[in-house]
Each structure stands twice: as structure tokens, then as C-alpha cells.
Amino acid sequence: MEANASARLKRRVATVAHRVGLFLAMLFICLPGIWIVLSSLRPTVEILAKPPVWIPQQVSLDAYVAMFSGVGKGGIPVVDYFRNSLIISVTSTVIAIAIGMAGGYAFARYRFRGKSAMFLGLMLTRTVPGIALSLPLFFVYARLDIIDTHFGLILAYVALNVPFTIWLIDGFFRQVPKDLAEAAQIDGCTRWQAFWQVEFPLAGPGIASAGIFAFLTSWNEFALASQLTRSINSKTLPVGLLDYTAEFTIDWRGMCALAVVMIIPALILTFIVQKHLVGGLTSGAVKG
């Protein structure tokens, strides 16, 4: 009896500790974001107030109105930046996923000479820091006259995303048992059909998550974009954020508002694709 009671107590303490730990972790993760949203809705006076005003006294959408009201009226060409970001990120993600699926499948399903070396070689191209890559790209793009174009950035981002897209997709195909596709082929599928009917649906969640990674990388990239873009022709949101910093002053509220605009699409997208990430990627196939 005594042992029972103490075990029960122990379990309860563990549950509470788990909840508290979880809460604190989530708080730490969310706080910066919440603070940004809050600051974007407050008048600048309140942000700069001393002593700090913790509870917003006035809430308004002025910062957003100012931002969208166009150049010259305290706004920046945020619609153009947004469109550029969207076009560049979506296009480069789609292309990178297509290339990555082919490559990942090759690594997961075929044996060939120099496989490890090939894989490592692909990864090494990704290790090149954006700023280091921007030096020669800047030079080459200037020669080809594709600086400040969508095409230039899309090309760069596809190259940026392909290596780890291959990496992730390879990993997820690897977890789909080979036997399944073989069984399908014995049942009369071609390899192509076996891929689309059996392996692709099972690896789907993995491919979706690779897509999220690729999209977010393009959406958020700064080091290359800051050198390869010049004007509203191709400037993306991360570069546009710098429009709010002057030499010595920063428009905190405006920046916060733009930050919110940048995060919302990423948030929506992640939330949509998230349900494909639901776990036990292959457990059904292995157990069942």
C-alpha cells in the first residue's frame, strides 16, 4: 500500500514537472514573437516610454497602414517585396523538390560506384557560406547582367536548397521498406508506377517537410539576397527590412510590423503542411 501511494505521488510530481517544463520552454520560444506583434500594435511613444509600459494603453494598426500607404508616406514598397519573395521562394522550392526527389531516390534505392563520395560532394557545395558564395556570384551575375532579377535569385536558391533536399528525401525514402516497392513490381507495376503508387505516398510526409525547409530557407535568405538585389525589381522581404534602419535611428514599430508580415505566410504554410509530418512515418507499413 505504502509503495503504491509513493509511486502515485512520484508519478504526479513527474507529470507536474513535465507540464511546467513544457510551459516554460514554449514561453521562451513564443515570447520574442509575441513581443514583436505587441510592439507593432503600439504607438512609438509607448515603446520608448520610461518606465516601461507593460500593458498596451492604445492599440492601433497605424504601423501597418503607414507601411502599405506606399513610398514617401512613411511606407516602404512592401507589396513589391512581398511579391518578389513569394515568386522567388515558391519557384525555387518547387524546382528544388523536383530535383531533390530524383536525387534522393537515386541515393536511397540504387547502388553505384562512388556513392558516398558523391553524396558528400553534394553536401559540401551547401557548406559554402552565403556570404562567401556571394562574392563570385556577384561578379558572375554582373557579367551576365542578371543581378537584380528574379531569375538570378531563383537559380541561386535552387542550388542552395538542392543538397539538403536530397539529403532529407533520401533519408525518408530509406525508411520506406524496399520490399513494398518490390512487392508492387512483382504484382505487375513498373518501377515508375511502384514509385508513384507506393513509395511516394509513404515518403510524402518527408517530402513535405523537405519542402518546408526549402521554402523557409529561400523566404528567409539574406546574405545572398542583400548583394544580388538592388531595387524593387527583385528585393525580397529580408532585405527590405533594412529599409527601416537609418544611420542612427531605427523605426522599431515599422520593423515589427514588417516582421509580422514576413512571418504570417511562413506560419500559414507550416501549419498546412504540418499535418503531413504526423509521426510514425513508416510504422504502419512496418507493423501492419
Partner 1 sequence: MTAKRLSAPTLLLLPAVLVLAAVVVVPLCLSFYSSFTPFRLTRPETFFTFIGLRNYRNILSDANFWWAFGRTVLLLTIALNLEMLLGLGLALLVEKASRGQRVLRTIMMFPMMFSPILVGFQFKFMFNDNIGLVNNALQSLGLTQEAIPWLIEGHLAFIAISIAEIWSSTSIFAILILAGLLAMPKEPVEAARVDGCTPWQTFRYVTWPFIMPFAYIAMTIRSLDVARAYDIVKIMTDGGPAGRTELLWTLVARTAYSDARMGVANAMAYFSILLSIVFTVYFFRKLAAARTQIGAEW
Q: Which residues have C-beta within 8 Å of that of residue 257, sequence separation ≥ 6?
A: 40, 63, 64, 67
Q: CA angle, 125 as apex, 153 and 232 as ends, to 5°?
A: 10
Question: According to CB under 8 A, which residues from 82 to 121 bind partner 1?
Answer: 98-100, 102-103, 105-107, 110, 112, 116, 118, 120
Query: Is residue 51 involved in binding partner 1 (CB under 8 A)?
Result: yes
Q: Closest CB to partner 1 among 62 and 221?
A: 221
Query: Is residue 227 involved in binding partner 1 (CB under 8 A)?
Result: yes
- Span interacting with partner 1, options 1-9, 20-28, 62-70, 75-83, rule CB under 8 A: 20-28
Q: Is the peptide bond before 51 cis (omega within 30 degrees of 0)?
A: yes
Per the listing, cell 508616406 goes with 73
Q: Closest CB to partner 1 among 72 and 284?
A: 284
- The nearest distance, CB 76 to partner 1, in angstroms, is 15
- Span interacting with partner 1, options 17-25, 60-68, 76-84, 181-189, rule CB under 8 A: 17-25
Beta bridge partners of 75: 71
Query: Is residue 123 involved in binding partner 1 (CB under 8 A)?
Result: yes
- Span interacting with partner 1, options 24-32, 60-68, 70-78, 181-189, rule CB under 8 A: 24-32
Query: Is residue 151 involved in binding partner 1 (CB under 8 A)?
Result: no
Q: Which residues have C-beta within 8 Å of that of residue 115, sequence separation ≥ 6?
A: 107
Report the b/e string of 137-169 with b at 16+ CB within 10 A: beeebeeeebbbbbebbbbbbbbbbbbbbbbbb
d(CA 22, CA 14): 12
- The nearest distance, CB 119 to partner 1, in angstroms, is 8
- Torsion angle of C-alpha atoms 48, 50, 53, 57, degrees rounded to 10: -70
Q: Which residues have C-beta within 8 Å of that of residue 165, sequence separation ≥ 6?
A: 96, 97, 99, 100, 103, 104, 210, 213, 214
- The nearest distance, CB 106 to partner 1, in angstroms, is 4
Indicate which single residue of 87, 220, 276, 285 sits in contact with partner 1 (rule: CB under 8 A).
220
Q: Closest CB to partner 1 among 72 and 279?
A: 279
Query: Is residue 277 involved in binding partner 1 (CB under 8 A)?
Result: yes
- Span interacting with partner 1, options 1-9, 26-34, 60-68, 76-84, rule CB under 8 A: 26-34
Beta bridge partners of 71: 75
Indicate which single residue of 72, 247, 249, 275 sits in contact with partner 1 (rule: CB under 8 A).
275
User: How many positions of this chain bind partner 1 (CB under 8 A)?
Assistant: 96
